[in-house]
Chains A and B, each alone.
Chain A
């Protein structure tokens, strides 16, 4: 074959390094042009509308109330404060949702593989119905249909005259710290530390001598004992502030607002369908040979589950579980549809409407979610690497 005679430019064209550099420069240039155009447009548009940019608005007084706040807040606080109020409310409903969805999801997942045919079918129907209906619709359903059937405050459902449920929410007694509270907390911490040490000691003894120790029941006894006995020894350091019906609504105590309840229920139920499927497929991914080997070794059902199946199933379950938890956190932003004061509703909603600082506020809101996502995935990657199967 005749060697092709190439001049300098053609050679450069066929040179992989030069080509890749050229394309990258092209992409970078295009991107730069795009960003500059947008920045230019935004500045002209903002000037035309007379909006000043910058984060100065964060220190101006907000002037609106928020129905639920974990930190002290009223109308005189700043817009910066509304950001934290919203953020904490988002984290609150996400944490509540993650805990409840995990419990319900594990229950549903185990029901899916239960030996009981009826339970199996019912949990399948539960999953197939609820995960094919948009979450937003479920939130609306809980808020506008289910919770609206609750009675008015005057005829609240009451549980032992301490917990009241009505259309305005759930009202519960609020624990108040009194003298001796620090001592009580100290005792509880000591008990927990003791239980951890007990567990480690039992594990060591099991490894060295083969003798088992009833760690679980001893721990329960220690913890419950400290909880009850310590309460009386330290002189009843917790008093309860009971809610009372005054006029049209309850005063005192703690309350869950109906928006929180609706959002929490909907998030929990929707996510539990996904977690249920993850749990089921995780357990089913452990090969049947493992079960047979356990029987051959003479392990009982509980030991088989705890020592062999679950540790292997966890490995499969952790990555999808993490993404479900993240989804739940992101989905909690739907709060804005029913007016639960979360980050999007308070900050990207009310604050945005009052200040008009669209770019700053939307960017801050997005960055919060992005940070949460990236932090959790970084942590999970690290954790996943730790439990991952070490192949030789």
Chain B
């Protein structure tokens, strides 16, 4: 008897595998699906191609006056000639190293804290919260032998970063206290915290900034004219800490009741219970939420334009009003949008990464 040799299996039909198979499955699986694909491709063609052409291919990048923009595309010269203004505002040019140094230090700290393998995290974090603010303040504002640069000369991206960072760093401790107060068993403290949180969450940031700029001066004795930036910061911190409190509350509620009861049963005091048992677990759950509030704070800082401070958006708007450069609003706003987008998008990616990494079993 002849040995049975099966014929070799034939390859899968060419329309089922590879690029063609993938396209059949994902783009042309049914008639409506095909129509959607064709329509989308058509829309992309008529929108994206002219845009890319305008923004990149026929754009002008190099030059120092508007005469250099003659190719009919985007005039990025508008941005490049004002790059320093967009970054630092009216900060004196020979002192640019100061914000740069402060920013590099911050970047170093952040990288140190966010790369999981590096040691001494605790000490770096403590330094970041104690030594760094003093150092950064001295660098940016002056003192200890450095020239004082008043805050009305600050601006551009630098101001945006300063506002967002101070806002978040001050708002976290206040938010934690408010959230703990909201869960407190003392009715007066609970009421005060609830009213505080709900008030700031219920009104738009812009009214808070208006309040900070027109009402706050009346609150200080002798009608002191507190620094404009300072007043805006007070408003932003109030607003932000109320949102932060809700994030913290979410983290506290995610902990099982047994943790609180266990700590009580061990005889820990209230602050021992919070510092040793509850907050270390809750903070871990809260980190993505904190990053999300940081993102919205970062976007919200753009509102200070309305009360007359000049962040990136404010500097761009001022540049657009320059009679020598009229007519480039698209370039200006797209540049500002890109600046904000880069920061917010990378933070949101980082928050997703953290969520994955910290997902060690608290969430189902």
Contact = CB atoms under 8 A, between A and B. Distances in A.
Interface of A: 20, 23-24, 27-28, 31, 37-38, 41-42, 44-46, 48-49, 114-119, 122, 128-129, 132-138, 140-141, 144-145, 148, 330-331, 333-334, 336-337, 344, 348, 352, 358-359, 362, 365-366, 369-370, 373-374
Interface string B195-218: 000110111111100110011011
Given A116-B37, A140-B333, A344 B202 contact: no
Q: Which of B44, B217, B337 has the most CB of A within 10 A?
A: B337
A370 B340 contact: no
A41 B218 contact: yes
A24 B221 contact: no
B275 to A, nearest CB: 18
Ranked nearest first, the 7 interchain pairs of A and B with the lowest CB-CB distance are A117-B26, A132-B344, A373-B202, A330-B204, A24-B188, A134-B299, A134-B302
Contact of A134 (B186, B300, B348): B300
Contact of A45 (B29, B40, B223): B223
A135 B299 contact: yes
A365 B207 contact: yes
- How many interface residues does chain B have, given as a range? 35 or more
A38 B199 CA distance: 18
B228 interface: no
Contacts of A352: 210, 214
Given A20-B185, A24-B187, A344-B207, A336 B306 contact: yes
Contact of B211 (A23, A119, A137, A366): A366
Given A134-B313, A148-B329, A334 B206 contact: yes
B345 A128 contact: yes
Contacts of A128: 345, 348
Contacts of A140: 313, 317, 333
Nearest to A142: B333
A388 B192 CA distance: 30
Given A118-B41, A333-B206, A369-B202, A145 B218 contact: no
Nearest to B40: A118
Contacts of B27: 116-118
A129 B198 CA distance: 30
B189 A24 contact: yes
B313 A362 contact: no
Given A132-B341, A336-B206, A122 B40 contact: yes
Contacts of A114: 36
A365 B202 CA distance: 12
B26 A20 contact: no
A116 B333 contact: no
13 contacts: A23-B186, A27-B189, A45-B223, A116-B26, A116-B40, A129-B341, A132-B341, A133-B341, A333-B206, A358-B214, A358-B215, A362-B211, A366-B203
B123 interface: no
B215 A359 contact: yes
B302 A145 contact: no
A54 to B, nearest CB: 15
A132 B337 CA distance: 9
A365 B203 CA distance: 9
B107 to A, nearest CB: 20
B329 A144 contact: yes
Contacts of A373: 198, 201-203
A133 B223 contact: no
B210 A348 contact: yes
A373 B197 CA distance: 13
B282 interface: no
A28 B206 CA distance: 29
B219 A348 contact: no
Given A20-B185, A49-B223, A352-B214, 8 more contacts: A45-B223, A48-B223, A134-B299, A134-B302, A135-B299, A138-B337, A362-B215, A370-B199
A373 B320 CA distance: 37
A331 B204 contact: yes
A138 B299 CA distance: 11
A114 B39 CA distance: 15
A136 B202 contact: no
A136 B203 contact: no
Contact of B340 (A137, A145, A359, A365): A137
A42 B210 CA distance: 17
Contacts of A45: 217-218, 222-223
Contacts of A23: 186, 189
A141 B348 CA distance: 23
Contacts of B71: none
Given A128-B345, A134-B299, A334-B303, A362 B192 contact: no
Contacts of A369: 202-204, 207
B33 interface: yes
B305 interface: yes
Contacts of B340: 132-134, 137
Contacts of B207: 333, 344, 348, 362, 365-366, 369
A43 to B, nearest CB: 9
A336 B213 CA distance: 15
Contacts of B188: 24, 27-28
Contacts of B334: 141
Contacts of B26: 115-118
Interface string B18-38: 000000001101000100110
Contacts of A37: 221
B343 to A, nearest CB: 8
Contacts of A31: 192
Contacts of A348: 207, 210
Contacts of A24: 186-189
A366 B235 CA distance: 14
A140 B302 CA distance: 12
Interface in B276-321: 295, 299-300, 302-303, 305-306, 313, 317, 320
Contacts of A145: 329-330, 333
B348 A132 contact: yes
